[in-house]
Amino acid sequence: MFWTTLLLLHCVLVLFLILSNRSRSKKEPPLDKGIIPWLGHALEFGRDASKFLTRMKLKHGDIFTVRVAGHYVTVLLDPDSYDAVLQDSVTLDFTRYAQVLMQRIFSLSLPNHNNSTEKALMMRHFQGDSLTCLNSVMEGNLQALLQSETIQDQKNWKQDGLFNFCYSLLFRAGYLTLFGAEQSNHYTDSSAVYKEFRKFDSLLTKMARNMLNPEEKRIAGSVRQQLWSLLSAALPGEKTEDTWLQNYLQHLKDEAVDEEMQKRAMLLQLWATQGNVGPAAFWLLGFLLINPEAMNAVKKEFDSLLLQADSPQGLPFDKLQNTPVFDSVLNETLRLTAAPFITREVLHSKTLCMADGREYDIRKGDRMCLFPYISPQMDPEIHEEPEKFKYDRFLNSNGSEKREFYKGGRRLKYYTMPWGAGKNKCVGQQFAISSIKQLLLMVLTRLDLELCDPASTMPKGNPSRYGFGVLQPEGDMEIRYKLRCTL
């Protein structure tokens, strides 16, 4: 019996290896399976995707296929050819892999999910007059939170890590703005949500890759339950005004999503709306603190705008739109730190036509992946000395926004892509930018803030976060701050 079982296992293993032993056809991209059967390059990919894919690009060029944990992923790193993927909604699908991640990370299943309907809903609430209203509420929440942090002791310095300072303020203000309609002024509640969210966020990449150990699984399950409970308190009542949250929940009900999954979907939206803004603000303010020339340029721009204000407390946000210096600093910050994957499932075999005329066959069942962090964002042919922070990289000599970047003599459509592109471009982009701008304006005009160690340098990004939006730092930068004037 023992030998029979052993023989069967051996046969199954041999059959598995035969079936997984894929070879490259003549018209397909270069194939790199790695030396480990089935697993392929999964470990190296997960440890540091940027380092691994850069190595693959040097070895194979700007398109190649790699084996990752049983999947074959074709990676395209030519920004001139990105539209061949972004504009194909027939053979390439965005939602299937998104459904996989929703289940792994949020224990969420939305089988009737209609991405187009949801996007239309988001656009309705994150553009135009609705965006103006959200910006106003966000400003009030940021001001109240900043006041609560400083008003008790206005003369003495308060110390914190810059990452926690930025993440906490923007997360809590954003939560109160989008989820806190029923919890007016309940800032303690927002702190509890932030505390649990940070635990959840620290495990996010492992959840996405199914790499949690037993203790981490227990913690992840407990934190999810706690967040679902906290977020359920934000559910709007029947008489609530026409808010984004109310309309999103109605959208879920229209898709026949039960109450339990509605709570879980709220955690998904909490991460989608708040998971990247705080880290982005950390990198931006950190770069300014260690680059005096950039800091002075931003302060000068803000001071010029504040001279136009009718009140010493600030100016209406609609007058705070013409900020080319700030915009350049933000674009440069995101060029260096925003590193999402753009992933599509291949529903039908297709021929991918690249901008230079090359054609490659892509197999049904594979995945297509764009990684704009490598190209265009860190491509030395597009951005000189790409590893360096240059606050004026996106400014013309006359101070206007620079939009012309080239590679191989051709002007690029995509020269930085922190918000994605095409039909799946981030709908909340303007709200996120406005939130970061509001925080920076308040910090620079109302606080004295400085590094505890003037010789501090920017920490490195955590390489495990590549593919999941804005990078998070390995370590922090200690700051101290105090109120400059009465808020």
Q: Binding site for heme: which residues? A: 426
Torsion sign across C-alpha atoms 196, 202, 203, 208: positive
Residue with tokens 């929703």: 102
Largest CA distance in the chain: 89
CA distances from 153 to 83, 149, 439, 450, 453 (A): 54, 9, 20, 17, 22
- Please report, in range form, the residues annotated as the binding site: 104, 110, 276, 367, 426
For 198-214, give the DSSP string. Answer: HHHHHTHHHHHTT---H
- Expressed in angstroms, the distance from the first to the final Cα of the chain is 80
Determine the Cα–Cα distance for residues 286 and 459; give it in Å rounded to an integer.
9
Bridge partners, residue 480, by sequence:
159, 450
| Phi, psi (rounded to 5 degrees) for 29 | -60, 160
Type of residue at 309: A
| Residue 288 contacts residue 298 (beta carbons within 8 Å) | yes
- Please report, in range form, the residues annotated as the binding site for substrate: 104, 110, 276, 367
| Residue 96 contacts residue 366 (beta carbons within 8 Å) | no
Residue with tokens 């808010």: 243
Torsion sign across C-alpha atoms 104, 108, 110, 116: negative
| Residue 49 contacts residue 463 (beta carbons within 8 Å) | yes
By C-alpha distance, which of 322, 443, 9 is closest to 1?
A: 9
Determine the Cα–Cα distance for residues 250 and 262; give it in Å rounded to an integer.
10
- The full length of the chain comes to 487
Strand residues in 320-456 grouped as ranges (E): 342-346, 350-353, 359-362, 367-370, 406-407, 410-411, 447-451
Determine the Cα–Cα distance for residues 340 and 391; give it in Å rounded to an integer.
22
What is the number of other CB atoms lying within 10 angstroms of the CB of residue 292? 9
